[in-house]
Amino acid sequence: MLVLGAQELGLDLKTRQIDQLMSYLRLFDKWNHAFNLSAIREPEAMVKLHLLDSLSIAPVLQGETFIDVGTGGGLPGIPLAIKFPNKRFTLLDSAGKKTRFLFQVKQELGLDNVTVENLRAEQFRPAEGFDGVISRAFASLPNMISCCAHLLKADGRFWAMKGQIPVEELKEIEPEYALECCHNLKVPGVEAQRCLLVIKPNGKSGSL
């Protein structure tokens, strides 16, 4: 399912990447029983709703350095870090048990391009900003920007993974921030609506 789903997304995964993704899923399943990382327990559903959902933004992701805020069990940060070994991903979460799991994943899978931080977004003060701030159901757009604006480079972008397009939330972030574009995401095997909002500081609004 993973290989076919990745092909549907237009992604060419190497054998090592497939092995890493499935190893991650096995670790996730193992730790989930004790750490409650996700309510999803069925393996096939985890492939679709965790791995493929995370990888659905890979074809359009631009930049070299990213921070996944409120990453939880490493979604979408870990699958994206596996797909893009030459890009750098910081995984940020305030829950110590979740970051302990992420440290274990980083070590076991040999993900040298991953950094794990156990802090609230407001507390994390990196030496330099990121090309992209990624969120997957982290918060409303106004709250995300309020918590994470300091993490973004001047020419960086917010990459907000959402279900339906949050029209009212988009109005609330104007005029300081604008929608650059909206990608409708088709996750293989998932019927629910998915979209990716790319948001930039002080720009002209894009279209829905």
**pLDDT tens by residue, 120-148:** 999 999 999 999 999 997 789 999 999 99
In a domain, 206, yes or no: no
In a domain, 207, yes or no: no
Report residue 208's pLDDT band, with 50, 70 and 90 as the boundaries.
Answer: very low
3-state secondary structure 61-102: CCCCEEEEECCCCCCCHHHHHHHCCCCEEEEECCCHHHHHHH
In a domain, 208, yes or no: no
Q: What is the pLDDT of residue 205?
A: 45
pLDDT in tens, 52-92: 999 999 999 999 999 999 999 999 999 999 999 999 999 99
Cα separation, 30 vs 200, in Å, equals 38
3-state secondary structure of 164: coil
Look up the pTM and report it.
0.94
User: What six digits make up the tokens of 132?
Assistant: 């992209």
Cα separation, 178 vs 183, in Å, equals 15
Find the domain containing 139 and state its range: 2-201
In a domain, 170, yes or no: yes
In a domain, 23, yes or no: yes
- Cis before 43 (ω within 30): no
Taking 60 as the threshold, does the pLDDT of residue 51 lie above it?
yes
In a domain, 65, yes or no: yes
Looking up residue 70, the CATH number of its domain turns out to be 3.40.50.150
In a domain, 161, yes or no: yes
Cα separation, 181 vs 176, in Å, equals 16
Number of domains in the chain: 1
In a domain, 196, yes or no: yes
